[in-house]
């Protein structure tokens, strides 16, 4: 457990980052700067309040900054991430980046199978049998779906 509100777990995290250079990254408004400030009191980092409507933090950090740690090492606080896009990876090639799907995907009924809806898809069948982890397949589907949002 980790809480910047009551200090739970902060000593364990301090021990993990001592003497290291550690980058703190994650979605916007999740408390990265609050965590950095709690790990190294006195930094007086700008943080946002919790939104009443969304119950999440507000985007506050606008650039990356590196702070020295009293116990040695550095913490790098980064702006929040809204999403990732893929560059120069065609939708029909994305499955090549999932080795477990790549090994069996060539056996699909259609040469241009997207492994999303086609009948006789060996990848979807392998997922149903538990030979390909459902979580990995769902990651593949999510990347395909999200990537369309970021293409120009």
The CATH number given to whatever domain includes residue 103 is 1.10.40.50
Query: 17 in a domain, yes or no?
Result: yes
In this structure, is residue 87 part of a structural domain? no
Where among 51, 77, 103 does a domain terminate? Answer: 77
The per-residue pLDDT for 124 is 96
The whole-number pLDDT of residue 50 equals 45
Number of independent structural domains in the chain: 2
pLDDT for position 118: 93
Residue 117 lies in a domain: yes
What confidence score (pLDDT) does residue 115 get? 93
Q: Which domain holds residue 133?
A: 94-150
Cα separation, 110 vs 112, in Å, equals 5
Shared domain for 73 and 102, answered yes or no, is no
pLDDT, averaged per 10 consecutive residues of the chain (152 residues), comes to: 90 94 86 87 65 48 82 88 65 84 89 91 96 93 71 43
Per-residue HEC secondary structure of the chain comes to CCCCCCCCCHHHHHHHHCCCEEEECCECCCCHHHHHHHHCCCCCCCCCCECCCCCCECCCCCCCEEEECCCCCEEEECCCECCCCCCCCCCCCHHHHCHHHHHHHCCCCCCCCCCCCCCCCHHHHHHHHCCCCHHHHHHHHHHHHHHHHHCC
Residue 84 inside a domain? The answer is no
């Amino acid at each position: 457990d980790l809480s910047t509100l009551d200090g739970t777990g902060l000593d364990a995290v301090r021990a993990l980052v001592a003497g290291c250079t550690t980058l703190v990254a994650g979605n916007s408004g999740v408390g990265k700067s609050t965590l950095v400030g709690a790990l190294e009191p006195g930094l007086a980092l700008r943080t946002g309040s919790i939104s009443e409507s969304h119950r999440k933090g507000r985007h506050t950090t606008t650039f990356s900054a590196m702070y020295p740690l009293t116990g040695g090492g550095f913490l790098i606080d980064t702006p929040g991430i809204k999403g990732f896009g893929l560059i120069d990876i065609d939708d029909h090639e994305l499955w090549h980046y999932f080795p477990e799907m790549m090994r069996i995907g060539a056996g699909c009924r259609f040469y241009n199978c997207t492994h999303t809806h086609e009948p006789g898809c060996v990848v979807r069948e392998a997922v149903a049998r538990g030979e390909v982890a459902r979580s990995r397949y769902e990651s593949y589907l999510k990347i395909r779906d999200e990537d369309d949002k970021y293409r120009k």
